[in-house]
Amino acid sequence: MVINLAMYHLRTIEALHRLRSFTLAAEDMQISQPAVSRALAEAERRIGGRLFDRSTRSVGPTHLGEEISAHAAMAVATYDEALIRIAGHMNGDDGTVRVACLPSVTATLLPSVISHFRSDLTRVGLDIHDEPQENVAEKILNGTVDLGIFALDSSIPDELNVEVVAQDRLVAIVPAGHQFSCRESLKWDDFARERFIGFDSVTSIGPLVAHAFAKYDVSVDIVQTARSIPAVGGLVAAGLGVSVVPEMVVPLVALDGIESIPVNPAIERTLVVVHRKRGPLPDVAERFRQSLLS
């Protein structure tokens, strides 16, 4: 047996059970008292039983009314919550922001942005994808994520809108007690006489460091490469060589036995946020983009 009740029937039952008055229920629902009476009568006819005993002085649920009212209250609450969530999606107060970014960005730049963003938008979910440089643009283009954060380079497709988020200069990291430790700054050609710990080319750091050495015509002895910042930091801390990293990630390699030193002339990594030019961002993703840029 299928009973066809509309939401206004369920709202009427819920309001009468909660308020025990046709007058108060009408005020609560912002309709007339006769409309409440008609809605209840129609609901009782469709259900096939009396839900409320009413007199000139009181309104009280029958045994059937108690059971039906419990279901009506749950249905009304669920429906109202759905309307709130739908409105939230439309005005950017609800939903999920999907972001692909470099692991170093996830660990350094994003936490404070996320904390501030979620303090205002507690319902918003964040789906963070830690990805190497080469994968971020691909995820944007195939629609897997809404926003991407990575290092600016010449390979960014024309289909993406690009905005600068931060700039981060390169610094040297050396083992404690190394001959460079007493220096206030280094030059790029200082690395020519050192064993060097490099980054894989799939990272954003590897090509940038290689470009710096090429720009200043420096040849380095790369004794080991690694993909992650902590791995490079661990190799340096063990005394296997020196390296160069963006200053932003120095806290990620703050191991015992590592010191950081500025390198001149300064070379910077430019971090950008990107999204597809075609079509607007979802409202909630647009609000996150604005938080990144503020």
Query: Are 74 and 116 members of one domain?
Result: no
Model confidence at 175, pLDDT cuts 50, 70, 90, reads: very high
Report the pLDDT averaged over residues 227-244. Answer: 92
What whole-number percentage of the chain has pLDDT above 70?
95
> Does 106 share its domain with 60?
no
Residue 1 within a domain: no
Model confidence at 35, pLDDT cuts 50, 70, 90, reads: very high
pLDDT of residue 90: 60
Would you say 102 and 151 are in contact if contact means Cβ atoms under 8 Å apart? yes
- Residue 15 or residue 85, greater confidence: 15
- Integer Cα distance of 87 and 89 in angstroms: 5
SS3 string, 69-104, reads HHHHHHHHHHHHHHHHHHHHHHHCCCCEEEEEECHH
Q: For the chain, what is the domain count?
A: 2
Helix axes 63-91, 283-293, angle to 10 degrees: 50
State the Cα–Cα distance between residues 16 and 36, nearest whole angstrom: 9
Give the pLDDT confidence of 240-287 residue by residue, as tens digits. Answer: 999 999 999 998 887 777 899 999 999 999 999 999 988 788 888 888
- pLDDT confidence of residue 247: 93
Q: Residue 287: inside a domain, yes or no?
A: yes
pLDDT at 61: 92
Structural domain contains residue 134? yes
- Domain span at residue 225? 95-293
Same domain (yes/no): 246, 283:
yes
Digit-coded pLDDT (tens) for 75-117: 988 887 777 666 655 655 557 888 999 988 998 999 988 888 8
pLDDT at 202: 80
Q: Is residue 178 domain-shared with residue 131, that is, in the same domain?
A: yes
Q: Are the beta carbons of 102 and 90 closer than 8 angstroms?
A: no
Q: Whole-model pTM?
A: 0.66
Assign 2 a pLDDT band (cuts: 50, 70, 90): low
Residues 220, 168, single domain; the answer is yes
CB atoms inside a 10 Å sphere around CB 14: 23
CATH number at residue 70: 1.10.10.10
Q: Are residues 143 and 286 in the same domain?
A: yes
Q: For the segment 181-206, what is each residue's pLDDT rounded down to a tens digit?
A: 889 999 999 999 999 999 988 888 99
Q: 25 or 2: which carries more pLDDT confidence? A: 25
**Are 96 and 124 spatial neighbours (Cβ–Cβ below 8 Å)?**
yes
Average predicted confidence (pLDDT) for the chain: 88
Average confidence (pLDDT) over 289-294: 90
Q: Are residues 237 and 125 in the same domain?
A: yes
